[in-house]
Amino acid sequence: MNIKFLGAAGEVGRSCFLIEGSERILLDCGVKFKEREEFPLLDNKTARKLDRVILSHAHMDHSGFLPALYAAGYEGKVYLTKPTRDLTQLLLADYLRLQKDFSPYSQDDIDKLLTHTEIMEYNEWSERGKGPIRFQEAGHILGSAITELKMDGRKIIYSGDINLRSSRLLDGAKTGFEGDTLIIESTYGAKADRHVAAKDADKIFIDLVNGTLQKEGKVIVPTFAIGRGQEILFTLESYLRSGVMEKCPIYLDGMIKKALRIYRHNAIYLKKEIQRRILTSDDDPFKSEYYLIPKSKDRRDVFAQRKAVILSTSGMLNGGPVLSYLEHLGQSRKNSLILVGYQAEGTRGRALLEGAKQLQLRDKRIDIELKVAQAPFTAHSDHRELVHFAKSINGLKKVFVVHGEGGKSEELAKAIEKATGAEAIVPSLGETHEI
């Protein structure tokens, strides 16, 4: 039985892992976003021979290449949760709209994917095929799942992206599995990666926001449409209601508003407190009086405000409406841009974090004068938590550390090997390993 690493090996992006035994099962199939997209090392012949595909969650670095499987002739199912299906449909449609003629697949391929999905609930085994699978909550975004897979006498645990801590919207990831093989992410796998407490992250963020609003400036918060966008929105809403944050409108732009509706429609997958607020009170956090939508395509009404907070996609500034806000507001030192998520190598967000004073936006280069800061929010577990997750697995013999860059995977592998006694490997892109 083998695992082939077709993406996210020594990198963050294009997660794609092929398990070959009595069945050929693909774990995730995403896109890597840089100046140019990079796709998994997956040819059409391999795609056609797949028996099943499992999707851990909707983020494009895990889901974005799935329709290309159907373009290549794959005719099997994709196993996923209901929220993941809803969110993936939204993200793929937007990707196709933006890519137009440069997309590796068509709307017909997306439609074929959606008609071949198999919805699974958490903690229920699917006995389809030769290898039963089960999902457990991963705590990363709505619908995200840790996968348990039994095949040929082995049991594989695939973490996907995990967050062991509870957030405003979700409970933390489940631990304490049984399995002999683990595929684990390492986004924050370095020893130095130690997340601050949630209340401290909130304070850092709100202090940054208030500092700009008190100068009558505008705050741009680039964010992912799903996951981080909703968490940040609920944080702002909470501090506005309590009076800790300066009163101002919160503008939602890009796909965040559409994703918000999907979150509300899938409220049974959120924390009980959120469900209670929606169902039993007039305190629905999804319908706050503070949320506004820009009234025109040129966003003139937003720019006319004395002060405002703007949540807009995309989270790493690869595209989306956030570039228009940066173009119009980036030359004033009264304004600020607060990064609230991971910024991958080669993205505009990473360039700003590293001190860039100019950015190429579409067909022109602009100066950056506004304040750039980072708030330490995360939807991923840190080094200590990832080691704990691995250590909690009974019977572990082999660990593959993926989805990390800059030496983070190697540091995590050493720590897991020491803590568990299991063999820990950092695979290279395209490698095949026996289990």
What's this model's pTM, rounded to 2 decimal places? 0.93
What pLDDT does residue 89 have?
A: 98
Instruction: Output the pLDDT for position 342.
Output: 84
Are 98 and 205 part of one and the same domain? no
Q: Are residues 208 and 76 in the same domain?
A: no
Q: Convert the pLDDT of each residue in 88-124 to its tens digit.
A: 999 999 999 888 778 999 999 999 999 999 999 999 9
Averaged pLDDT for residues 263-281: 91
Check whether residue 332 and residue 301 sit in a common domain: yes
pLDDT of residue 81: 99
Q: Is the pLDDT of residue 54 over 90?
A: yes
pLDDT digit string, tens, across residues 212-242: 999 999 999 999 889 999 999 999 999 998 9
Q: Is residue 280's pLDDT more than 90?
A: no
Say whether both 390 and 281 belong to one domain. Answer: no
> What's the confidence (pLDDT) of residue 191?
97
Most confident of 276-280, 375-379, 417-421: 417-421
Q: How much is the average pLDDT of 138-158?
A: 98
**Rounded distance between C-alpha atoms, residue 417 and residue 110, angstroms:** 41
Distance CA 396, CA 286 (A): 42
**Contact of 338 with 309, CB cutoff 8 Å:** no
Residues 39 and 137 in one domain: yes
* Residues 182, 213 within the same domain: no
Are residue 43 and residue 124 in the same domain, yes or no? Answer: yes
How many separate domains does the chain show? 2
Query: pLDDT per residue over 290-312, tens digit each?
Result: 899 998 888 999 999 999 999 99
Pairing mode, strands 133-137 and 145-151: antiparallel
**249 and 114 fall within a common domain:** no
Helix axis angle for 256-265 and 82-99, nearest 10°, is 160
Distance CA 156, CA 54 (A): 13
**pLDDT at residue 287, as a whole number:** 84
Domain match, 16 and 133 both: yes
